[in-house]
Amino acid sequence: MITSTQAIRNKFFRFSSIRNYNYSSTSTGSINNSTTINRGTHIHHNHKIYQSHHYHASASSSFVTMTRMNTLGHGCGGAGMGNVKDQMIPTSAEEQQHLFKHTKRPKTVSIIGAPMTFGQPFVGTDRGPQYLREAGLLQDLSSLGWRVHDQGDLNFDSLANDMNRNINTSSTTSSDKYTADIDVNAKNSIIVGKGCEMIANAVKSVIANGQFPLILGGDHSIGTGSLAGILQARPNTGVIWVDAHADINTPETSDSGNMHGMPISFLIEGMVDSKGIPGFEWLSKPEMSAARLNPDSIVYVGLRDVDSLERKFIREKNIKAFTMYDIDKYGIGSVMDQALTHLLEKDPSRPIHVSYDIDAVDPAHAPATGTTVRGGLTYREAHFVGEAVAMSGCLASVEMVELNPTLSDGAGSNDTIELGLGLITSLMGKSII
């Protein structure tokens, strides 16, 4: 259990200097505002110029102000916690030779914004990619030695606009514009499904170019698209699913019909007939036959809110799952050792994909998300998950989802965005020494 003193220490370890950011975006085509940077160079984005490691701009947002102030450091005389800065220090040169072995050198991370919000009921998850960029994602990745290609955000608005035009010219009277005339318990399945197809194609293209896909959600319904593209390119990929929830419901078993609770079931053979789910027909095409997830190729970490039928699926399919009980009992170090051993024992060079839902972390640290559950990962446990997978050398792709700064106050939103950014950098090779 975290004491109040530990919580304060963790909070101020994350915030150390005044940092204001400005970012703007316009929608053009299916992917918006492509940007490429190299370490130590200037970053050109939408006619604004940022210099890696040293920059200062201003911004305002109706939901969150990206400002960090070293309030504890003032008056501490150099001896206080507020003077500790979370530095972007990569692993040693020797270690880097063994990390990210599935990414072509010089290693390039390709950022794919997937601002999906229709897989759950709360507006705001679509702002996650923007806020992570504003918080300094590109600069931090560059500081860790990555070449950075920011592909911008996939244009899901175009899908919504097309469907609205079609519906407005039809005779339908359905109140649900995105699943009009469809009797299926999968809300907004058309836009979610077509959005996932866009993600799958983008991810597959990045892997074909030898780059590292970093997918920024958006809600967790995008997991179907991310994994479909990854498995099509690398069918032997192992998956670590970091989440408070199992996300293995089907349209038949889901109480809510929200598709962010179903992404895994669409990829396990026999669980969902994608031909019968509008928007997901593409998954049944012959060329997508490799995009199937074997139950022994996924490991859950951090579960603590699992529906009864999801428990049945996990047991019947013998899926490796570490709940918060297991983390409490064995410790996060042992859990990650077991998780990686399970995935890598037969093939030590197997590519690993991490899908990280911010709600895996305790809401004391990440309150700005839609399905918070108390008793989650601590701040250090959450980072250790990323660090452990990175040090395996097999990490080949990452997805960060469910950041929603509209669901907390300013401080809570800032905490959640900063934590999401920190977890990404831990996954991408940030080292303490």
> Any catalytic annotation for residue 42?
no
Rounded Cα–Cα distance for residues 343 and 351 (Å): 9
Catalytic residue among 102, 260, 365, 383: 260
Catalytic residue among 243, 305, 310, 381: 243
Catalytic residue among 102, 149, 245, 353: 245
> Any catalytic annotation for residue 418?
no
The beta-strand segments (E) located in 21-157 are 35-37, 42-45, 48-51, 67-68, 108-114, 147-153
Rounded Cα–Cα distance for residues 213 and 207 (Å): 7
> Checking DSSP bridges between strand 42-45 and strand 67-68, what pairing results, if any?
unpaired
343-358: b (≥16 Cβ within 10 Å) or e: bbeeeeebbbbbbbbb
**Rg of the chain on CA atoms, in Å:** 21
Closest of 346, 363, 344, 351 to residue 402, by C-alpha: 363
Catalytic residue among 153, 219, 402, 418: 402
Catalytic residue among 45, 102, 149, 220: 220
Rounded Cα–Cα distance for residues 420 and 152 (Å): 18
Closest of 68, 33, 60 to residue 422, by C-alpha: 68
> Checking DSSP bridges between strand 147-153 and strand 35-37, what pairing results, if any?
antiparallel
| 8-state DSSP, 244 | S
Rounded Cα–Cα distance for residues 4 and 8 (Å): 6
The beta-strand segments (E) located in 266-338 are 298-303, 320-323
Rounded Cα–Cα distance for residues 306 and 297 (Å): 19
**How many Cβ atoms sit within 10 Å of the Cβ of residue 92?**
10
**Measured at the alpha carbon of residue 31, what is the angle toward residues 137 and 386, in degrees to the nearest 5?**
35
The beta-strand segments (E) located in 93-184 are 108-114, 147-153
Burial of 319 (0-12, 13-18, 19+ CB in 10 A): buried
> Any catalytic annotation for residue 255?
no
**Torsions phi, psi for 134 (to 5 deg):** -60, -30
Catalytic residue among 219, 305, 357, 418: 357
**How many Cβ atoms sit within 10 Å of the Cβ of residue 57?**
14
> Any catalytic annotation for residue 162?
no
Q: Which residues make beta-bridge pairs with 114?
A: 217
Catalytic residue among 140, 247, 305, 387: 247
> Any catalytic annotation for residue 362?
no
> Any catalytic annotation for residue 102?
no
| Upper half-sphere CA count for residue 388 (Cβ side, 13 Å) | 20
Catalytic residue among 134, 310, 359, 381: 359
- Which residues are identified as catalytic? 220, 243, 245, 247, 260, 357, 359, 402
